[in-house]
């Protein structure tokens, strides 16, 4: 279970996240919506440790995450697929994928090879381009590589920031199919996404953030809740 209680975080003197509370169970996908600049990305970065929490708590199971360094949080089973993808220049597709192996300690060499082979089975285009520099891939392929690098570490919690931005519909469909697979595996997924209708099709619940606070939450399959969501985002 992911449990976030009264979370606050700042950029300098700017108070971005202002008392957010949230829970999520294994196998649950939660959509995070809101206009630009309201704190959606900062929430994900705070959970991942990229932004330090000012106060409040973040727990995955019994483990308290806030206060840990980003690498320790990663080792606890949390993966962040950032909006800018963070494909490392100078590294091949294979090398970028293998960086994700660092998320799990103690795996044998054969287990690591099997994990990478499994990624290429799921993302055959990456397998075809494994010796190509990651930064030379198309935008859609780079998004797949960013997700593959996280998934090879078999995370318990996946934070995904704007995965469909600027991508062709065929690639978007594939990205959302991966999110469904994560749900079936029992991962918790927090999804920030501007494509509301696509996101509602893969999420169980949603929240809307304004000025760093949750102003609306609902069931993604409930017609009235969906109408409230669309009305809130239209304002």
214/218 Cα distance (integer angstroms): 11
Q: Is residue 55 part of a domain?
A: no
Tens-place pLDDT, residues 123-150? 999 999 999 999 999 999 999 999 999 9
Q: What angle do CA 18, 22, 27 make, to 5 degrees?
A: 150
222 Cβ neighbours under 8 A, 6+ residues apart: none
150 Cβ neighbours under 8 A, 6+ residues apart: 79, 80, 81, 100, 103, 158
* Chain position carrying tokens 């949230």: 22
107/204 Cα distance (integer angstroms): 33
Task: Pull the structure tokens for residue 31.
Answer: 């959509």
Q: Is residue 14 part of a domain?
A: no
Asked if pLDDT for residue 103 goes beyond 60, the answer is yes
The sign of the dihedral angle between the CA atoms of 69, 70, 76, 78 is: positive
Q: Is residue 18 part of a domain?
A: no
- How high is the pLDDT of residue 235? 57
Tens-place pLDDT, residues 52-88? 999 999 999 999 998 899 999 999 999 999 988 899 9
Q: Is residue 118 part of a domain?
A: yes
Average pLDDT over residues 172-177: 90
Which of 101-105, 128-132, 155-159 has the least mean pLDDT?
A: 101-105
Instruction: Count structural domains, the chain.
Output: 1
Q: Is residue 1 part of a domain?
A: no
Q: Is residue 213 part of a domain?
A: yes
20/203 Cα distance (integer angstroms): 19
pLDDT > 90: percent of the chain: 83
Residues in the chain: 235
The sign of the dihedral angle between the CA atoms of 71, 73, 77, 79 is: negative
- How high is the pLDDT of residue 161? 95
CATH label of the domain that carries residue 34: 3.40.50.300
Q: Is residue 2 part of a domain?
A: no
Confidence of residue 43 (pLDDT cuts 50, 70, 90): very high
pTM, to two decimals = 0.93
Q: Is residue 10 part of a domain?
A: no
In the three-class reduction of DSSP (H, G, I as helix; E, B as strand; rest coil), residue 19 is classed as strand
Question: Which residues constitute the domain of residue 35?
Answer: 25-49+69-234
184/187 Cα distance (integer angstroms): 7
């Amino acid at each position: 279970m992911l449990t976030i209680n009264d979370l606050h975080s700042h950029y300098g003197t700017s108070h971005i996240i202002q008392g957010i509370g949230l829970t999520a169970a294994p196998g649950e996908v939660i959509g995070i919506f809101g206009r630009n600049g309201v704190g959606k990305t900062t929430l994900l970065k705070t959970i991942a440790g990229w932004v330090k929490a000012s106060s409040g708590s973040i727990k995955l199971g019994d483990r308290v995450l806030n206060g840990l360094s980003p690498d320790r949080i990663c080792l606890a089973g949390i993966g962040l697929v950032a909006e800018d993808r963070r494909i490392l220049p100078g590294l091949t597709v294979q090398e970028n994928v293998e960086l994700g192996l660092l998320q799990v300690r103690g795996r044998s060499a054969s287990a690591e090879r099997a994990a990478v082979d499994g990624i290429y089975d799921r993302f055959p285009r990456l397998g075809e381009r494994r010796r190509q520099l990651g930064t030379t891939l198309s935008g859609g392929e780079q998004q797949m590589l960013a997700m593959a690098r996280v998934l090879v570490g078999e995370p318990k919690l996946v934070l995904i920031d704007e995965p469909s931005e600027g991508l062709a519909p065929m690639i978007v469909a594939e990205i959302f199919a991966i999110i469904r697979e994560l749900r079936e595996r029992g991962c918790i997924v927090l999804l920030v996404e501007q494509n509301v209708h696509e996101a509602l099709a893969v999420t169980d619940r949603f929240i809307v953030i304004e000025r760093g606070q949750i102003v609306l939450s609902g069931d993604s399959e409930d017609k009235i809740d969906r109408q409230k969501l669309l009305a809130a985002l239209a304002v």
